[in-house]
Chain A
Amino acid sequence: MKNANANDSGLKVLVCVKQVPGSNNVKVDEKTGLLVRPKVGNKLNPYDLFALEEALNLGEGPSFEVDVLTMGPPQAKESLLECLWMGCDKAYLASDRAFGGADVLATSYTLYQAILRAGTFDLIFCGKQTTDGDTAQVGAELAEHLGIPHISNVIEIVGFEEEDANGGSRSIVVKAMQENLIVTQRLGLPCLICFDGDINTPRLPSYRRKKSVGTGEDAVKVFTLADMNDKDASHYGLKGSATQVQRIFPPEKNTDRILYDGSSEELANRLESVLRERRFIQEPQR
């Protein structure tokens, strides 16, 4: 049977988030290749907010829990506090000098190790990508470490099924956006879901909750390397990364413009043929 929400379901959801630069217009110093951090500080990765909203929107009640996890420097705690102000129950921060410089492999491995310490979860939610790394791979790699099913580009949670026809475990039904179609998929729990962007309007942090959470000394649990099951530093950070960044440079901006003159009808026809030539629109499929 499908249920639209998870009120008092006993479900535990973990949302993975990241703190990113506060402005989306981060510039790269062309000489040094370093990111020029804007003055506006940091913020929660906007894509993660859609995942967080899906989680918080799933249900309420004492036995429904949404926790949040990030890996980052100590100041990443600010972003976790913000998640608590939005309604999350518990927050976990994986933070250690040994975790610095991690690529997607080392990042997802660190998150995996942190999850082993944080507890067991029925659902793990991730955003589509971050606005500073843009790889869109951490979610899927994390699921591989955990050995659970996963799906990307999810646009909607359809509901839950208590048991399937084969007597299997509880499952979730989601809709995912593929290249040319929307797939409705059922995944057994536990599973990991990466959400698409712009699928909801994330709620705003509450000042009331901010005041009750306080500075978060008790609210945010920190995991260092010493807390992990795997304490081998070579599996984390730069040392545990399979890839190395050679160079960072700003992408070339294409500002080509074509101007056409003519009547509205001529312009419309011209525009249509250009869009067809460049495959932005296609002949209807027969």
Chain B
Amino acid sequence: MSVEFRKIDKGDIEALQNMVASRILVAGQINDDYCHDELGTAYGVPDALVRASSTLEVSNVMQYAYAHEIPVVVRGSGTGLVGGAVAVCGGIMLDVSPMNRILELDEDNLTVTVQCGVLLMELAQFCNDHGYQYCPDPGEKSATIGGNISTNAGGMRAVKYGVTRDAVRALTAVLPTGEVVELGGKVVKNSSGYSLLNLVIGSEGTLAVVTQATLKIIPKPEYSMSILVPFSSMGEAIKAVPRIIGAKVTPVAIEYMSRDVILFAEDYLGKKFPTHASDAYLLMSFDGNTKEAVVHDQEVVSDLCLELGALDVLLIDTEERSASVWSARSAFLEAIKGSTDLMDECDVVVPRSRVADFILYTHEIASKVGLRIPSFGHAGDGNLHIYLCRDGLDDCAWNARRSEAFRLMYAKAHEFGGQVSGEHGIGLDKKEYLSEVLGPVQMRLMRGIKAVFDPKGLLNPNKVV
């Protein structure tokens, strides 16, 4: 259902140059990196790459694009995995990464206000330096906060602290018409009409351009520690998770990882993981304001794990130990990518009680369709990261097997009461699965919302809906 848009001409370029002080590149000057995202399954060359440095500039560009019917795709760091920030219909690519200032720390309201191009790692460091914590902790630390908001990124601390949506208090957003709206506020409660704030969060740049965000922060927990728990099989490891969730202590994160993925990470980082004697591991972390309270929670969960067949429980209680384990965890995506010539991914989310069944099902699919399918993910919130590896297959075999594997996985996720994406979004790549899972009524409502925000269909066209 691709729509044809007109190409940008010389007049457009001149007009845009004036708006953004010549921070503009045109076809031929645009680096190939801007034509795809991190995963690289979608490809498109924008007619112009415009670097915006303020909400006003974004507004002016949007107003011009609306009047002249030019499609606009917003881009931060380009670390997405579903083609969301790829200009598949040409037009303007609006690079907001120069908007990278942290504007305000409000210690009376416990908020931090940032421009959309601030990187997650910069935000985390800033909060840490001031004794606070920004709770969401997605694995890709070089992503922008704008990108995180656009996909409602989740990350590892979701078990205890929720996802990006839970941490956004207010947004400044530019509509396709160029109008600037302030959504939400520095308020803890809000029961004031439809939540446009929450509609824009997770809309993957299809409804509005987020230029500024006011985010909730909390005082940094005084003490934290993690445990790495080896099990003899992935089945045993994952089956322990619902019991852990039910143990009335709340870990910050519960991740699962298999030995093969750990070995890829060792190769990729050139550093050894502290252990890889077992086939499957759970990695959990705990935090709190006293060491005693945190150690108590850790011991409750550790004893339970041993009771449920864990081979041991390894303690991670210093900066160095934490770095040796969590740096590998953060590199898993890149490490699997490095283990094959091309990969595609699926980040389904299923009820936590069905995670074990789902992972075992992916093993069945792997042997049934003839693909290597490594996985890791957030066992504690049911969000799995499953990778299909091409491993040198020809185009025909790869496409056929990949489609079959995806079809089976999304159907099973649906059967289990799951959703297409836990945190990576729909973008271009997962559209067909979204409409299959949500059905015609929900898709009609979503398209209606899109039409209200963007009647000309110019903002990130051909994505999500």
Contacts and interface: CB of A to CB of B under 8 A. Distances in A.
Contact of B274 (A41, A43, A202): A202
Interface string B296-328: 000100100010000011111111110011000
Contact of A206 (B299, B314, B321): B314
B407 interface: no
Nearest to B223: A40
Instruction: Categorize the interface residue count of chain A.
Output: 20 to 34
B273 A201 contact: yes
A206 B291 contact: no
B6 interface: no
Main secondary structure of the interface of B (DSSP, over half): mixed
B318 A207 contact: no
A33 interface: no
A85 interface: yes
Contacts of B324: 201-202
B227 interface: yes
B318 A22 contact: yes
A73 interface: no
A206 B320 contact: no
B222 A201 contact: no
Contact of B315 (A39, A41, A207): A207
A250 B291 CA distance: 28
Contact of B312 (A43, A46, A200, A207): A207
A203 interface: yes
A200 B317 CA distance: 18
B289 to A, nearest CB: 10
B384 interface: no
Interface residues of B, number: 25
Contacts of A200: 272
A205 interface: yes
A134 B320 CA distance: 17
Interface in A136-193: none
A277 B222 CA distance: 45
Interface string B239-268: 000000000000000000000000000000
Main secondary structure of the interface of A (DSSP, over half): loop
A23 interface: yes
B275 interface: yes
B313 A201 contact: no
Contacts of B302: 207
A204 interface: yes
A239 interface: no
B388 interface: no
A241 B320 CA distance: 32
A207 B223 contact: no
A218 to B, nearest CB: 21
Given A40-B223, A207-B302, A46 B318 contact: yes
Nearest to A49: B320
Interface string B51-89: 000000000000000000000000000000000000000
Interface in A33-59: 39-41, 43-44, 46, 49
A169 to B, nearest CB: 33
A201 B291 contact: no
The residue among A41, A200, A201, A205 with the most chain B CB atoms within 10 A of its own CB is: A201
Nearest to A205: B315
Contacts of A40: 222-223
A201 B272 contact: yes
A205 B315 CA distance: 5
B222 A39 contact: yes
Given A22-B318, A23-B319, A43-B318, A208 B271 contact: no
Interface string A96-108: 0000000000000
A53 B222 CA distance: 29
B228 interface: yes
B312 A208 contact: yes
A210 B321 CA distance: 17
A120 interface: no
A24 interface: yes
Contact of B275 (A22, A46, A204): A204
A208 B313 contact: yes
Nearest to B227: A207
Interface string B214-249: 000000001100011000000000000000000000
Given A41-B291, A201-B274, A206 B318 contact: no
Given A41-B291, A46-B320, A203 B274 contact: yes
B306 A210 contact: no
Nearest to B313: A207
A85 B313 CA distance: 11
A204 to B, nearest CB: 4
Given A39-B222, A40-B223, A204 B316 contact: yes
Closest 10 pairs between A and B when the two form their complex, measured CB to CB: A207-B313, A204-B314, A201-B272, A205-B315, A43-B318, A46-B320, A208-B312, A207-B302, A204-B274, A206-B312
Interface of A: 22-24, 39-41, 43-44, 46, 49, 85, 200-208, 210
Given A201-B272, A204-B314, A207-B313, 10 more contacts: A44-B318, A201-B324, A202-B320, A202-B324, A203-B274, A204-B274, A204-B321, A205-B314, A207-B312, A207-B315
10 contacts: A22-B318, A41-B291, A200-B272, A201-B273, A201-B274, A204-B275, A204-B314, A204-B315, A206-B313, A207-B306
